[in-house]
Amino acid sequence: MLAELVDTMHRAHRNTEAIEASRELLRLNPENWNAQVLLARALAATGNYSEALQHYDNALRSEPDDYDALDGKGHVLYWTRRYSDARQVFQRLVQLNPDDTHAQEALREVEHAEEQAKWETLRPAPAAPAERLVSYYQQRLSVYPHERAAMKALAYNRARMRDLEGAIRDYRKVLANYPDDRDSKLELARLLGAEADYEPAIRLYRDVLATNPGDLDTLESLARVYGWSQRPSEAAQADRRRLQARPADAGYGLEIARIEVDLKN
């Protein structure tokens, strides 16, 4: 009866009461492995992972293949980033029951987390030389060829190296896979403008403005590229759109007047 009560408390998230009741169960019968599991579960729910593991291990010494003890221990190991140990626990559960989809899914999650943790240890600090970051992201993309964040980071760090041709190529790859990536469109347009490849830069800026016509920074960039490409009328029109979006600006009237003069000339 008390064990059923503890289980009810846990399901109702009354974990402090469940801990106290589980300890009472163990006081009455220190060999009660089920009470060890109930106590471990309640402790884990309150974030007391170290003691929870101790009680899961106590239960497993009595019942090495108990599902609840193995499952609970595996999750605590996963939550505490002990991925190798967690993987072994869930592998054991899958061995015991190859049709257990819950254990299979948990094992996949642990293996993925373990893989990501390895990559985290390899990743240089954000302030590391661009060459090191380019090398890292090239390695990562050899394993995850379509990972958006890695593709963008590779392009960004190529630009930091002043490898503008490579950065342009990489941003185009990002957009081939993720055509709505606004940041990549803007970065690619900026690089194309710097390389005097004006028409594709203009198309990218206009594409961004099609979904956000009041984007002041993009309007300013578009006006700048129009100016570089010797298209003063269109540059002035883009400037007018930008200034009209912020009429409260103190210099608004003067800027509009300047644009009107430019258009007449």
Q: Which domains does the chain have, with CATH numbers?
A: 2-121 (1.25.40.10), 123-178 (no CATH)
Give the integer Cα–Cα distance in Å for 241 and 60: 71
CA 192 vs CA 177, 201, 215: distances in Å: 19, 6, 19
Q: Write the DSSP assignment of 114-142 as a string of letters.
A: HHHHHHHHHSPPTTS-HHHHHHHHHHHHH
Query: 93-113 pLDDT, tens per residue?
Result: 999 999 999 999 999 999 999
Answer whether 111's CB lies under 8 Å from 87's CB.
yes
User: Could you give the count of Cα atoms lying within 13 Å of 252 in the half-sphere of its Cβ?
Assistant: 10
10 confidence band (pLDDT: 50, 70, 90) = low
Structure tokens at 76: 């605590």
Q: Which is higher by pLDDT, 239 or 85? A: 85
Answer whether 54's CB lies under 8 Å from 69's CB.
no
Query: 28-67 pLDDT, tens per residue?
Result: 888 888 889 988 999 999 999 999 999 999 999 999 999 9
User: How high is the mean pLDDT of the chain?
Assistant: 89
Answer whether 37's CB lies under 8 Å from 61's CB.
no
Among the listed ranges 53-57, 197-201, 203-207, 213-217, which one has the minimum average pLDDT value? Answer: 213-217
Among the listed ranges 14-23, 70-79, 127-136, which one has the minimum average pLDDT value? Answer: 14-23
Backbone φ and ψ of 118, nearest 5°: -65, -40
Res 2 pLDDT > 90: no
Give the integer Cα–Cα distance in Å for 150 and 129: 16
Question: In 3D, which of 186, 236, 240, 247 has the Cα closest to residue 211?
Answer: 186
What is residue 261's predicted lDDT score, i.e. its pLDDT?
61
Res 5 pLDDT > 80: no
Backbone φ and ψ of 256, nearest 5°: -60, -40
